[in-house]
């Protein structure tokens, strides 16, 4: 019985080793990349009288520098200690009227 368990364990190990493929980094099709990289729709702000409107634009993704900044995690809130602000905030970078 002990030999059967050992044989089955070795057999299982061999099958698992053969199941692994050496796959290199793959990119999705161009259509999917274009969807991900498409610019975000602007946020529209209209004044109280309804006479003027501005369009506020922001970036799709944060930069590597912004993502890699150190942060404090206090009571479920992530705080950037350099600017004393929450790290999950997004900012508008372009304004058009």
Q: What tokens appear for 12 in the block?
A: 């299982």
- Measured CA to CA in angstroms, residue 38 lies from 31, 51, 59, 85, 88 at distances of 11, 30, 10, 28, 21
Determine the pLDDT at residue 53.
94
Determine the pLDDT at residue 45.
94
Q: What tokens appear for 41 in the block?
A: 């729709």
Q: Tens-digit pLDDT profile for the chain (97 aa)?
A: 777 788 777 766 666 655 557 778 888 999 999 998 888 899 999 999 999 999 999 888 888 888 888 888 888 888 888 888 888 777 888 888 7
- Measured CA to CA in angstroms, residue 8 lies from 3, 5, 17, 41, 94 at distances of 9, 5, 14, 58, 64
The three-state secondary structure class of 34 is helix
């Amino acid at each position: 019985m002990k030999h059967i368990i050992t044989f089955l364990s070795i057999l299982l190990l061999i099958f698992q080793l053969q199941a692994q493929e050496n796959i290199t980094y793959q990119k999705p099709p161009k259509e999917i990349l274009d969807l991900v990289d498409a610019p975000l729709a602007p946020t529209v702000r209209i004044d109280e009288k309804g006479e003027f409107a501005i369009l506020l634009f922001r970036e799709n993704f944060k930069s590597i520098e912004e993502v890699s900044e150190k942060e404090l995690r206090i009571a479920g809130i992530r705080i950037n200690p350099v600017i004393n602000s929450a790290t999950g905030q997004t900012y508008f970078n372009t304004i058009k009227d």
